[in-house]
Amino acid sequence: MSTSAEDHRTRSRRRGAQLEEAILAAALAELQESGYAALSMEAIARRAGTGKASLYRRWDSRAALMVDAVHALAPRPADIPDTGSLRTDLLEVLRRTAEVLAGPAGEALRGLLAEALPDARRLAELRGRSRGSTRQLMRQVVERAAARGEIPAGSVRPSRMDVGAAILRSRVLVDAEEPDELMIVEIVDEILLPMLRALPEPPAPSL
């Protein structure tokens, strides 16, 4: 028997989180090598050294697997230091988000969107799988700023938490712009800070 590659029957003794981490790492490596269009569950299983059934027990589709692979790369709230300044906190959130988008996660997201956009059902499923990682980061830094008195507490609105990342994703994933420091500073200084420092307009009185 050839020993040039480890047989998945030997390596499949891995269980739980260890096996899932190996599969997610294999998915990202396969993505970088082959691109999203050529990505297959068979190739991911082979690279991870496990059987295809191990993948399908955890993910019912390639898209579901790639959503979790992207999430594994996303920054966590604990990764964002409290700098004592809303501006520098926002810059750090968007820098880390841009770093993720510029790598294999961005390639995966482009593929997922291209696959889902023509199909309303798939698009709804993709949205349903989102974990809102960047939204959590934004909420963390703006709530800290409100507690420090940098911004009015009433300006911390759920609808505002997605704005910065949505603009960044659009420019990087849709417009294919390089996410450089100038782009990040522009989003923070020209959009996020003015928005967060302003209280929302009260609703118009009903007639």
Q: Binning pLDDT at 50, 70 and 90, where does residue 84 land?
A: very high
pLDDT of residue 74: 87
Q: In this structure, is residue 104 part of a structural domain?
A: yes
Q: Are both 91 and 153 inside the same structural domain?
A: yes
Q: Are residues 44 and 132 in the same domain?
A: no
Instruction: Identify the domain containing residue 27 by its residue range.
Output: 8-58
The mean per-residue pLDDT over the stretch 14-32 comes to: 89
pLDDT in tens, 97-153: 999 999 998 999 999 988 888 888 877 877 777 777 888 999 999 999 999 999 999
Q: How many residues does the chain have?
A: 207
| Residues 75 and 172 occupy one common structural domain | yes
Task: With CA atoms as reference, report the closest residue to 161 among 129, 195, 185.
Answer: 195
Q: Tell me how far CA of residue 35 lies from CA of 20, 30, 98, 112, 158, in angstroms.
A: 21, 7, 20, 12, 35
Q: What is the mean pLDDT of the chain?
A: 87
Determine contact, residues 69/143, Cβ cutoff 8 Å: no
53 and 135 assigned to the same domain: no
Q: Is 53 within the bounds of a domain?
A: yes
Q: Residues 35, 130: one domain?
A: no
Tally of domains in the chain: 2
Please classify residue 44 by burial: count the beta carbons closer than 10 Å to its beta carbon, then call 0-12 exposed, 13-18 middle and 19+ buried.
Answer: buried
Quick: pLDDT tens for 153-174: 998 999 999 999 999 999 999 9
Asked, for residue 3, whether it belongs to a domain, the answer is: no
* Residue 81 is assigned to a structural domain of this protein: yes
CATH number assigned to the domain comprising residue 98: 1.10.357.10
The CATH number that applies at residue 42 is 1.10.10.60
